[in-house]
Amino acid sequence: MSGPIRIAFPDGSMREFPSGVTGLEIAESISASLAKAAVALDVDGTLTDLTRPLTQDCAIKIVRRDDEAALELIRHDAAHVMAEAVQQLYPGTQVTIGPSIENGFYYDFARETPFSSEDLEKIEQRMHEIVDRGETFTCEVWDRKEAIAFFEEKGEVYKAELITDLPESETITVYRQGEWLDLCRGPHLPTTKHVGHAFKLMNVAGAYWRGDSSRAMLTRIYGTAWRNEKELQAYLTMLEEAEKRDHRKLGREMDLYHFQEEAQGSCFWHPKGYTIYLALEAYIRRRLRDAGYVEVKTPQLIDNKLWVASGHWGKFRENMFVVPDEVPNTEDEGPVISGEANLMALKPMNCPAHIQIFNQGIKSYRDLPIRMAEFGCCHRNEAHGALHGLMRVRQMTQDDAHIFCREDQITQEVKAFVELFYACYRDFGFEEIQIKLATRPEVRAGSDEVWDRAEKAMADALEVLGLPFEYAPGDGAFYGPKYEFHLKDAIGRSWQCGTCQLDFVLPERLGATYIGEDGAKHRPVMIHRAILGTLERFIGLFIENCAGKLPLWLASVQCVVATITSDADGYARQVHDALRAAGIRAELDLRNEKINYKVREHSVQKVPAMFVVGKREAEERTVAIRRLGEQAQNVVGLDKAIGDLALECQPPY
RNA sequence: GCCGCAGUAGCUCAGUGGUAGAGCAACGCAUUCGUAAUGCGUGGGUCGGGGGUUCAAAUCCCUUCUGCGGCACCA
């Protein structure tokens, strides 16, 4: 071994150790208790095994089991422990991959018969035993060929394939825990005992080998794992709470909308739900108008000639509903459709139609940018398994718009859009918005050179705005790169809402031009953009985000006037009329029920304000205000109460 | 579309081969009550659809549809 190496500690101090020293030895040199608590070593920002020899100068941090950083290891190790348990209990089951994920871990198995929920209990039981056994995790470096031969011999063809596909430069490491071992990059905790017992297997699901739908379907078991029982319980409680704010459940309870099998994936908006929808649409319409947009309306059903020209027929057809342009056969016998008619399609997007409007007449460079908006109802033939309440529907309405501009206007237009986007999201109180820049997909239109330019323009705009983003390679639309703005639902699933897509391709395919300063024809660039995305998904997410307690301006019923006894009926009607006259969405509850019952019912319905009136209020011309979620009653003069509420019902824009 | 699970009254759910149940909701009657469930009574079902096994099927088998959780795909 060469000379000593210099180790930097988190407090800034520096010490020398002989080359080959391990994290465990360093911890021991500090204190026995630290050595006992230590589970891994952070070397220059990368987690490694405690027993790995250090041979270079580096900055380290000793990770204790209680540290946040240990969670990932606990989860990854739990996956290994689960895999061992499964192979013990169900010999012949092949292991594939098992990473740690947010809140837990999973492992994909290849097995003829699927796991049942009783199997999960057994596996969990065995996992506890393996943890108690407390085998040491040891890392071994194997020869590539021998490793492949070993796994093939064992019948572990998936593991063998993984090794075969690892780059030559990669060292093949295997982690052993007692009798059991797995191909793994590591790092791991010192022993299986360190996993602890705060884990739970959650569910079984199918998953394609290597995420490829043309390959084998494996069985995935999901689990959750935490540092202690308290954290585990807190997580399980959070899941229960989240279930209560599921927009599908709330939509039914609050009588907002429903779905039924005759129109799967398309929403039936009830009066109360549609009130929310209309209020939201009106809001975004005001925003767009003031941001210099014009609004249009284009056809639903369009001949496939246009879809062929736009490229949708080639690249997007499997997601389109196609309709033959013919009179259906009305005879009882024989096919309804001849199969020979010209085809039309329900529009899956508005863009080609907007270009048709742009193409009418001659456009000058002075006309640009043209910001053309449409609350266009689109249909997409989504796979059955993809449908999910309002989040994933087949009929959707986007707050869609296309900005036709010159290349030199791209940056300013994109920037203006992103600013408008954030101004709107602030109004809804969404805090966590994740931005992804999705780049060229495999199936695409347009030259690489055009894509280079478009992707660069998109990245530059975000950098100018100082907004952090991640790349989503290959996720772009077939005509251009895009920003995806993601929001999370109640249980943490991420959904794309807003979008902003740069498109050099469609204007060319559909022959859009403008006359430049030089008197020659030029191609406009097209920016496809949506702030809320689809109204359906956005409303679903927003309902989950506020647990059904919508802000006043969006609440379908903003105020209920409820009487204590029928003596106050006449006055209650006056109050109700006055509320309506003030533009407030109010309802009247004159039922012969106790006030307790009425308060409970309207609270469950999440009505934000109640005006309770009895004999006293009628005599004094007041109302007893009770706000949702509060116990207190506030007796206020009628005119002031209505004035204040009307003010509060104003939309944020 | 793929893997798994589920489908019983408007909602939540019980019912493992022998006459379809409960709570809430609805409806009727009584009750006029001061801030989260007043009492009594009544009606309500092709047990998702189709086929099969059986003397007999909500229950067992096959098939199909839809929903749920993932995967794949995507706003």
Q: Which helix (H) or strand (E) holds A151?
A: helix A144-153
> What is A470-481 written as a DSSP string?
EEETT-SBTTB-
Please pick, among A65, A272, A482, A606, the residue that the annotation labels catalytic.
Answer: A482
Residue environment code for A47-79, b if the CB has 16+ CB neighbours within 10 A, otherwise e: bbbbbbebeeebebbbbbbebeebbbbbbbbbb
Round to whole Å and give the CA distance between A237 and A438: 35
Residue environment code for A128-156, b if the CB has 16+ CB neighbours within 10 A, otherwise e: eebbeeebebbbeebeeeebbebbeeeeb
Alpha helix stretches (DSSP H) within A524-614: 535-545, 569-581, 595-604
A260 nearest nt, CA–C1' = B66
Tokens linked to A586:
């109010």
Residue nearest to nucleotide B34 (CA to C1'): A564
Instruction: Please indicate whether residue A398 is annotated as part of the active site.
Output: yes
**What share of residues in chain A are helix, strand, coil (percent, to 5)?**
40, 30, 35
Q: Could you tell me if A645 and A584 are in contact, meaning their C-beta atoms sit under 8 angstroms apart? A: yes
Q: Could you tell me if A316 and A348 are in contact, meaning their C-beta atoms sit under 8 angstroms apart? A: yes
- What letter does residue A95 receive in the DSSP assignment? E
pLDDT of residue A218: 94
Residue nearest to nucleotide B3 (CA to C1'): A206
Please pick, among A184, A351, A424, A649, the residue that the annotation labels catalytic.
Answer: A351
Round to whole Å and give the CA distance between A417 and A461: 11
Instruction: Please indicate whether residue A633 is annotated as part of the active site.
Output: no
Instruction: Please indicate whether residue A489 is annotated as part of the active site.
Output: no
Tokens linked to A589:
């509850």
Query: Max alpha carbon distance in chain A (Å)?
Result: 97
Owner of token pair 């941001």: A291
Q: Is the pTM of this model over 0.90?
A: yes
Q: Could you tell me if A81 and A131 are in contact, meaning their C-beta atoms sit under 8 angstroms apart? A: yes
Question: Cβ neighbours of residue A411 under 8 Å, at least 6 residues apart?
Answer: A457, A460, A461, A464
pLDDT of residue A2: 63
Instruction: Please indicate whether residue A245 is annotated as part of the active site.
Output: no
Single-letter residue type at A458? M
Please pick, among A61, A354, A371, A380, the residue that the annotation labels catalytic.
Answer: A380
Q: Could you tell me if A204 and A115 are in contact, meaning their C-beta atoms sit under 8 angstroms apart? A: yes
Question: At residue A136, what are phi and psi to the nearest 5 degrees?
Answer: -80, 135
Please pick, among A94, A398, A409, A558, the residue that the annotation labels catalytic.
Answer: A398
A536 nearest nt, CA–C1' = B75
User: Separation of CA A205 and C1' B13 in angstroms?
Assistant: 26
> What is A181-248 written as a DSSP string?
EEE------SBGGGG-S-EEEEEEEEEEGGG-TTSPEEEEEEEEE-SSHHHHHHHHHHHHHHHHT-HH
Alpha helix stretches (DSSP H) within A320-447: 351-359, 410-428
A386 nearest nt, CA–C1' = B73
User: Separation of CA A247 and C1' B13 in angstroms?
Assistant: 21
Strands A586-589 and A559-563: parallel
User: Separation of CA A117 and C1' B15 in angstroms?
Assistant: 22
Please pick, among A76, A371, A528, A529, the residue that the annotation labels catalytic.
Answer: A528
Strands A38-43 and A5-8: unpaired
Round to whole Å and give the CA distance between A397 and A377: 4
Considering just the CA atoms, what is the radius of gyration of chain A in Å?
31
User: Separation of CA A119 and C1' B47 in angstroms?
Assistant: 29
Round to whole Å and give the CA distance between A215 and A210: 8
A595 nearest nt, CA–C1' = B35
Tokens linked to A371:
């910001």
Task: Show which positions of strand B are touched by protein (CB under 7 A).
Answer: 1-5, 11-12, 30-38, 65-75
A443 nearest nt, CA–C1' = B73
User: Separation of CA A117 and C1' B57 in angstroms?
Assistant: 27
A396 nearest nt, CA–C1' = B75
Q: Could you tell me which of A390, A375, A364 has the C-alpha nearest to residue A270? A: A390
Q: Could you tell me if A96 and A108 are in contact, meaning their C-beta atoms sit under 8 angstroms apart? A: yes
User: Separation of CA A112 and C1' B61 in angstroms?
Assistant: 22
Distances (CA, A) of A145 to A138, A160, A164, A179, A279: 21, 10, 9, 22, 65
A116 nearest nt, CA–C1' = B4
Owner of token pair 């979620």: A629
Instruction: Please indicate whether residue A400 is annotated as part of the active site.
Output: yes
pLDDT tens profile A528-575: 999 999 999 999 999 999 999 999 999 999 999 999 999 999 999 999
Single-letter residue type at A305? K
Tokens linked to A480:
């251009």
pLDDT tens profile A409-444: 998 999 999 999 999 999 999 888 999 999 998 878
User: Separation of CA A621 and C1' B18 in angstroms?
Assistant: 67
pLDDT of residue A72: 95
Strands A470-472 and A434-438: parallel
Q: Could you tell me if A138 and A174 are in contact, meaning their C-beta atoms sit under 8 angstroms apart? A: no
pLDDT of residue A454: 85
Residue nearest to nucleotide B69 (CA to C1'): A205
What are the residue ranges in chain A where pLDDT is below 50? 1
- What letter does residue A365 receive in the DSSP assignment? G
> What is A500-536 written as a DSSP string?
EEEESSHHHHTT--EE-TTSSEEPPEEEEEEEEEEHH
A596 nearest nt, CA–C1' = B35
Sheet strand arrangement including A343-346: A301-303, A343-346, A322-324
Q: Could you tell me if A15 and A58 are in contact, meaning their C-beta atoms sit under 8 angstroms apart? A: no
User: Separation of CA A539 and C1' B35 in angstroms?
Assistant: 31
Tokens linked to A55:
């041979």
Owner of token pair 């039924």: A260
Tokens linked to A230:
């308290």
Please pick, among A77, A108, A182, A400, the residue that the annotation labels catalytic.
Answer: A400
Q: Could you tell me if A441 and A455 are in contact, meaning their C-beta atoms sit under 8 angstroms apart? A: no
pLDDT of residue A336: 83
Q: Could you tell me if A100 and A81 are in contact, meaning their C-beta atoms sit under 8 angstroms apart? A: no
User: Separation of CA A210 and C1' B60 in angstroms?
Assistant: 39
Please pick, among A287, A363, A371, A402, the residue that the annotation labels catalytic.
Answer: A402
User: Separation of CA A252 and C1' B66 in angstroms?
Assistant: 17
Question: Cβ neighbours of residue A236 under 8 Å, at least 6 residues apart?
Answer: A200, A224
Round to whole Å and give the CA distance between A219 and A543: 33
